[in-house]
Amino acid sequence: MSDPTANTRRPSPPRRPWFESVRDALRGIGTMFRSQRNARIQAVLFACVIVASLTLRIPPGDWAVVLLASGMVFAAEALNTAVEELANEVSREIRPGLGRVKDLAAGAVLLASMFAAAVGVAILLPRLLSLV
């Protein structure tokens, strides 16, 4: 005989206020910047790109592309940090499968960073060269 409760759904946990979710997300972002040297380096580079973009007065469409590319890098870094934290919780031992997962997550950050750099070069370099 089958279990009559097998197809019933568990009740959803009560919804938390949105500001608690935002607070938790901001805590996660803070954790990323405190624990990841590369995230801090990316933040410095982002600040340089913002200063250059303001100085060169790039048009709104270019701003959208720069901000999207930069956001992609930070989002990839946050996901990479989460994967690393989770993998370290699963096992502190060297495990090939976990190593591949961490490498893949780090590769995603590298890809996002390379494409963001290409966006920066495509948008900012012609304007910089026109000043020479």
Sign of CA dihedral 75, 25, 63, 130: negative
Please spell the DSSP secondary structure of 61-99, one letter per residue. HHHHHHHHHHHHHHHHHHHHHHHHHHHHHH-SS--HHHH
Local structure of residue 110 (DSSP, 8 states): H
Q: Which residues contact 66 (CB under 8 A, 6 or more apart)?
A: 49, 53, 58, 119, 120, 123
Q: CA dihedral in degrees (34, 36, 40, 42; nearest 10)?
A: -150
Active site residue 20: no
Catalytic residue among 77, 84, 89, 93: 77
- Active-site annotation, residues: 77
